[in-house]
A and B are shown apart, each in its own frame.
Chain A
Amino acid sequence: MCLAVPGLIVEVVEGSGPALRQAKVDFAGIRKQVSLAFTPEAGAGDWVMVHVGFALNTIDAREAGRIQELLRQLDDAAARLEPGTE
């Protein structure tokens, strides 16, 4: 139920007031109308997490990149523990 899906804002449609701001959002080729009522800062080119037709938050690209950094560290740690393997 709390499922949310990442999508890319293609175009913002200004409504009358921030509560009615809408966007066209692309989900891997499927486009849907999404409310930006909770993400007044979001604009075209931003990624958002969408739940029941509303963008819950923007996705922070820098924070998202941390997982790759973590995996590099894990690889190094594993290599130190098991020299010569992998």
Chain B
Amino acid sequence: MKYVDEYRDPAAARALISAIARVARRDWTVMEVCGGQTHTLLKSGILQLLPAGITLVHGPGCPVCVTPLEQIDKALEIAARRQVIFCSFGDMLRVPGSAGSLFDAKAAGGDVRIVYSPLDAVNLARDNPRRQVVFFAVGFETTAPANAVAVEQAGRTGLRNFSILSAHVLVPPALEAILQSPGCRVQGFLAPGHVCAVTGLRDYERIAETYRVPIVVTGFEPVDLLDGIRLLVEQLERGSAAVENQYSRVVRTAGNPAAQDAVSRVFEICPRKWRGIGEIPASGLRLRAAYREFDAEVRFNLAATGVAEPPECISGLVLQGIRKPHECSAFGIRCTPETPMGAPMVSSEGACAAYYLYGRQ
């Protein structure tokens, strides 16, 4: 397929790997932020082919993995109600809450449905006026514009039976939290291409300057990732800390203004808890006051629960690149994709699941 195959070409990958070997003189630790990138790196075997001195640590860019337990518990509580059709992207269904997952809620008779787009959930609300349709709005800046348009659409058409449970998170505050953490090993970032396609590069330029850390906005195919690593290592070797755009076929410097406008019409920035990491200030999105009636937490009057996460799960350290998945004592023993203990073992974009599926490194 055009715009896919040429970025999976083994000859191109080999040329880039030897180019990286030519420029890398010292040891470097860099983080790929997005779980989709983690998945490609493990699936394609790139990690084994890189020069030994280049270490990739895997970032928090898996929305499934960072959605806090209490938000999953709220989803479960809503999904258990008889009048509710609970809609979610498929990868959220198996994430364990403190008592089971959405999949379990479905097995217990809850009407839980997988949708491909938030607009599908809006259409379900239109077609089922006697039911309450709730959409689990999970995701980064990439997904927020679509969810904003869905809420606007519901507002415009006067749907009174549509609401969202928001667990939206933002990437730049998480990068800053990682850089400020005392155990931080990260010397450069491969930034998430599709997030930047929406937001543009401005926040990343500020981070690169403030923390003196190079950042390369990178795509998701093997050749993109190798090209991104090459650019990052070149910067590290020459002591540069700039933002570069490897993914210029999709990402413009200013991002996508129409998508940004949709987000800021509907959402506002709020503090957000990240699973395993804790609360990060100004790292989430919630509905603006004008759209409060579409907020499922308001509609169903849900209070904060303050639940505790399983102590053995070190997902917080994994998601910050401080520990690798196989360093967790539960990895592959008490925690597997069939019986996940923490969210990074659930989604194929979670670092723990990727290590389990494609062999630990």
Contact = CB atoms under 8 A, between A and B. Distances in A.
Interface string A38-61: 111000000101011110110111
Given A1-B36, A63-B249, A71 B256 contact: no
B197 A54 contact: no
A56 B197 contact: yes
B3 A67 contact: no
Contacts of B252: 57
A52 B194 contact: no
Contact of B149 (A2, A37, A49, A74): A37
Contact of B64 (A1, A52, A74): A1
A18 to B, nearest CB: 8
Nearest to B15: A74
Interface string B1-38: 11110110000100110110010000000000011100
Given A1-B64, A37-B262, A51-B143, A56 B16 contact: no
A40 B248 CA distance: 19
Interface residues of B, number: 55
A54 B262 CA distance: 13
B223 interface: yes
B140 A2 contact: yes
B118 interface: yes
B248 A1 contact: no
B248 A49 contact: no
Contacts of B307: none
B225 interface: no
A75 interface: yes
The dominant DSSP class at the A interface is mixed
Contact of A51 (B64, B120, B142): B142
B63 A60 contact: no
Interface of A: 1-4, 6, 8, 18-19, 27-28, 35, 37-40, 47, 49, 51-54, 56-57, 59-61, 63-64, 66-68, 70-71, 74-75, 77-78, 81
28 contacts: A1-B64, A1-B89, A1-B91, A1-B139, A1-B349, A2-B139, A2-B140, A8-B2, A18-B258, A19-B149, A19-B152, A38-B256, A38-B258, A38-B259, A49-B197, A51-B194, A52-B118, A53-B117, A56-B198, A56-B250, A59-B3, A63-B249, A66-B248, A67-B7, A67-B12, A68-B6, A71-B12, A77-B19
Interface of B: 1-4, 6-7, 12, 15-16, 18-19, 22, 34-36, 61-64, 89, 91, 116-120, 138-140, 142-143, 145-146, 149, 152-153, 192, 194-195, 197-198, 220, 223, 227, 248-252, 256, 258-259, 262, 347, 349
Q: 5 closest pairs, A vs B, by CB?
A: A53-B117, A64-B249, A6-B3, A63-B248, A38-B259
